[in-house]
Amino acid sequence: KSHNDKFSDIDYIEDDKGNSYFDDNLALISCKLHSSHKIGDHHIIIGEVYHMDNDDSKEPLIYYNSQFS
């Protein structure tokens, strides 16, 4: 698929700030930019969490001992 329609068949929701999220997620952490620091050829981005949510009815995907369970 092209860049423009790569996610066209995936349901998503949009919050009041215009951020898009997968509709069927297990957990959600929404952040806004707090600061950005250039360290050599890297950028360190610090976010400030303004919303968190989770769905306790779903089982998480766990990666342990080189295996998903």
18-58 pLDDT per residue, tens: 888 888 888 989 899 999 999 999 999 999 999 899 989 98
- Token pair for 14: 């949009």
pTM of full prediction above 0.75: no
**Are the C-beta atoms of residues 28 and 50 closer than 8 Å to each other?**
no
Number of neighbouring beta carbons within 10 Å of residue 2: 6
In which band, very low, low, confident or very high, does the pLDDT at 1 lie, cut at 50, 70 and 90? very low
Per the listing, tokens 């898009």 go with: 20
**Are the C-beta atoms of residues 47 and 34 closer than 8 Å to each other?**
yes
